[in-house]
Chain A
Amino acid sequence: MTAPDVLQPSTPEEAVLLFEEGVTVIGGGTIVVPELTSGRLRPKKAMLLTGAGLAGISRDGPRITIGATTPVSELESLPAPIGPCAANVADTEIRAQGTVGGNLCAGEGLESPRGDLQAALLAVGATVRSAGAGGETTEPLEDFLQHRKDRLLLDVSFEEPSAGAFAPLIRPHTHDYTALAVSAARAADGTVRLAASGVAGYAVRLPGAEAKASDPEGAAEVATADVTFADDALASAWYRNRTLPVLVRRALTQLQEV
């Protein structure tokens, strides 16, 4: 095996300039490095973002912006659903190394969905700034997730919600990816957004349930209509189908109590 050509940008501008489709982007390394060690991934070209200056959380009034290589652990102090969702990712060491960008951009795993943080950030209506073909764009996270493998994520930002809630299935083990978790958030204008991680390849909004957000029971009844469930080693499609309504009800009830 020949070692890949490794790009090591030292500024965000250099990272944008060097990025091209097909390059393997490494944030913290928690996903890519084991793939390299095992030989499952043999990239010709890789880009290591450690020194690219893309880490950090900044606030501008109610707007919070999280740089791509910010470790997941730094999100634990953010408001719900982001904080509790980040604290529910893997273990202490992995959270301190894995990055927000990696968590959002991770492709589907060999056995199960990845991207624990996706639903929490969908629930707060996050937008993503990314680079790639056609230049730099800012778009809703929903749209970004569909073509995330072709883009270099620079940062993700959102307005701090007035209330938030996070309802996960308890993980069988600390290292399992999220089998199913529902995030809910009420924006400053009163809009409630609901999203689920772990349903399938990437997280999705639950528009049917959002429309009935003031009625947790009613929202739970319609939640599964918007989703196609993965059937994998972590949980069967049947199990996900049965538990999504429970988590929707819990998240919305929690939200009412905040």
Chain B
Amino acid sequence: MTILYWLPEIEDWRGRLRGLGNNPETAWDEALALANSRLDFIRTNALDQMISKIFGDAPPKNLSTKPIRLALLGSGTMAHLRSAIRIAGLRRGLWISIYENDYGQYWQELTDPGSGLHEFKPNVVLFALDPHHLAAGLGAGLGRAEAEHGFAELRDRLQECWRLAREAFHCPVIHQVPLPLHPTLLGNNEHRLPGSRQGLITRLNHALRELADAEGVDLLAIDARAAIDGLKAWHDPALWHRAKQEISPAAAPMYGELVARLLAAKQGRSAKCLVLDLDNTLWGGVVGDDGLEGLVIGQGSALGEAFVAFQEYARELARRGVILAVCSKNDEANAVEPFDKHPEMVLKRHDIASFVANWNDKASNLRAITDELNIGIDSLVFVDDNPFERALIRRELPMVAVPEVGDDPATFAQTLADAGYFEALAVTEEDRARGEQYQGNRQRERLKASTTDLDSYLRSLEMELIWRRFDKVGLQRTVQLINKTNQFNLTTRRYTEEDVLAVMEDSRAFGLQLRLVDRFGDNGIIAIVIGKMNGTEDLAIDTWLMSCRVLGRQVEPTTLNLIAETAKRLGARRLIGEYLPTKKNGMVKDHYAKLGFTVAETGEDGSSRAVLDLPTFAPASTFITVTET
């Protein structure tokens, strides 16, 4: 079972596919809509063929994501996976160009600087080495010592692959976990046969988790996926013999999904917020009609337990950084009551960062939720048991992910997991604390409502901006912010860990991470600045991004004071601020002008370059204390 069942079927698929090229203006959005339907491998291939016809090899103009150049390096046949990877990327607004090594030649191409691979200059490398290739040389006749030797050699070889790719391309590396597809020789206790190929792959797959983490390599866990779908859905020995396909073409759309989720997560494009309907989604029954006592939730019935299990899953997601919100057609008092009073409820009112219950249409309410939380509308996943509401949101807000959850709560959690909306590569301390941060935000809002003038409100917050240079401890969070911040982001330059490390080593550049603490709590790292000397007098602000959570709190001028000071220490006499427009960062268009820069140039595309003279710059006075740690 490798169907993308959480995506909706759409009507007139063939007609829409054939008409895709008719209007070049809307072709990309229409392609995105088609990609977000329940595609099997045939339709996936057909859509990709159409896209190639319309767009050729180059990404469409005004693409709001960083084009991906993926090198697919493997030992078997991979051509049938290309379309699936590209279409799963398209589903997330990503353009992916793919290079594939000549059959079996991955090692030669890696080590030969004149190869097509080096010419391609990938910005992501995916190793897809098949289990037959990896286990070659092993067999049941081997003793323990020989088998151990073989295993150690294999580990070394994989590490060497990763090292070569890193050195050559300075880019992220992904490694596909091989499928344990060899038939067993002993059976249940296969691990007792040292030379067993099946045993070797199983053992390697355990070891890979640790090995990859140690090397900073991300895994493509098709083994875990095959354990859910069934190995036979992923691998067909007859196709291996016929065409050397480790992965069956029928499973290609799911394979592409797994790859694209990783690539999207790397660009910070995973969903951030789970929006939940209430009646018959979080509990059985309609609270407005059935009352608190009439709700089906909790022990005692299979249905009640299923709702509890789904709530538990949502709470687990929240604990690792996913924001929870509620969007319900209800009177607010009725909607809140179970959270406060029903003893079987797993989710409590304080688990929900934004709670919207009224009789407005749900599209408006989803917008209200994104406004309150300061997140993009495309970072929402909306779960509702009602097909009408799902269809409405898909029509009104196509950028919101709306899974086909069906009406059995027992399947909700697995459906969300299968859809992979919240793919994450690491969990930072900020992620864990996120729920509390949004809690603190609400307390701040309440104080603001009770304080009439802004100055006394800001003073009462007792804000402290704590900053430090980029360091290895904060590296993951820095890269995460650089890649996922879309709105308050002056240049939207996306950087990898390697890029950030390069800034740390550059004596004519600086990278600052800023944390904001106030009386309601720690907001975590909320801003990133990268400055680079350009010549002897100019310091270019290469990157300035900030979390929208802290807008309107004087963080911007306080940050500028810090940038000016740091720039002066490098000998700069001018700050150069650059604005590069994207679909999402219109809010910072006049950022530099507002801070007292002089706009020197404005481009036709809306970009601008602004200058600030440092010797005459007078730091703004704000209610924020600045501390270095």
Q: Determine if chain A interacts with chain B.
A: no
- Which residues of A are at the interface with B, using a C-beta cutoff of 8 A? none
Chain B interface residues (CB < 8 Å from chain A)? none
